[in-house]
Amino acid sequence: MGEKKEKPYKWRREDYRENTKGLLMVNTGDGKGKTTAALGVLIRAAGRGLKCCFIQFMKSRTDRYGEHESLEQLGIEFHTMGDGFTWDTNDPAQDIKTSEETWQLCVEKMRSSDYELLVFDELVYVLDYKFLDVEKVLAEIKAVRESQPHLHLIFTGRNAPPELVEAADLVTEMKEIKHPFHAGIFAQQGIEF
């Protein structure tokens, strides 16, 4: 038998950026799996040679999670910018400041034209909590998408604002049916963190 030839997929085109429709994708809902799904797409994209970056808004910049270890080993750029994930903030002014600083990094990455896929993990929470103005965020995204129509964006978090849902190309809602926490099982290393 001769050497097996690789199928010529469309993504291998020389004009990839010119002929790609960048998607705005949102993973939302109360169920587990929003970040996990985004990471799956990120790993797939990186495996196809797309330049990717992963930015987390709320997870603490001093903590290390399993995704950090994996992304580091795969050579995928990531930034964890938060002060620690919280449902009930003790310092809204600090949370707003951190959100604004993280958003500025997102804007820098979007405007750079260096990437094909950007994941802004937990951005949807920040919009829901009103730490950032949804209209300003959407205006920036619209401008970037017009100048870089190939750029894919993924945002995660609960309670996606209607304006974001309307602007998105793909919205997936994770719905909790059953969760081990309710049976007294704590978060499991390698599964939740």
3-state secondary structure the chain: CCCCCCCCCHHHCCCCCCCCCCCEEEEECCCCCHHHHHHHHHHHHHHCCCCEEEEEEEEECCCCCHHHHHHHHHCCEEEEEECCCCCCCCCHHHHHHHHHHHHHHHHHHHHCCCCCEEEEECHHHHHHCCCCCHHHHHHHHHHHHHHCCCCEEEEECCCCCHHHHHHCCEEEECCCCCCHHHHCCCCCCCCCC
pLDDT value, residue 71: 95
Domain that holds residue 23: 17-175
pLDDT value, residue 88: 57
Angle between the N-to-C axes of helices 34-47 and 66-74, in degrees from 0 to 180, rounded to the nearest 10: 10
Query: Letter for the amino acid at 34?
Result: K
Q: Tell me how many domains the chain contains.
A: 1
Report if residue 59 sits inside a domain.
Answer: yes
Taking the alpha carbons at both ends of the chain, their separation in whole angstroms is: 46
pLDDT value, residue 72: 93
Q: How far apart are CA 77 and CA 26, in angstroms?
A: 20
Report if residue 4 sits inside a domain.
Answer: no
Report if residue 186 sits inside a domain.
Answer: no
Domain containing 49 — which CATH number?
Answer: 3.40.50.300
pLDDT value, residue 3: 65
Mean pLDDT, each 10-residue run in order, the chain (193 residues):
56 64 96 96 94 93 87 94 71 90 98 97 96 98 96 97 98 91 79 73
Report if residue 181 sits inside a domain.
Answer: no
Which position has the token pair 């049916």? 177
Residues β-bridged to residue 118: 53, 153
Report if residue 76 sits inside a domain.
Answer: yes
Report if residue 129 sits inside a domain.
Answer: yes
Angle between the N-to-C axes of helices 92-111 and 134-147, in degrees from 0 to 180, rounded to the nearest 10: 10
Q: How far apart are CA 170 and CA 157, in angstroms?
A: 14
Report if residue 187 sits inside a domain.
Answer: no
pLDDT value, residue 13: 56
Question: CB of 25 within 8 A of CB of 170?
Answer: yes
- Number of residues in the chain: 193
Report if residue 100 sits inside a domain.
Answer: yes
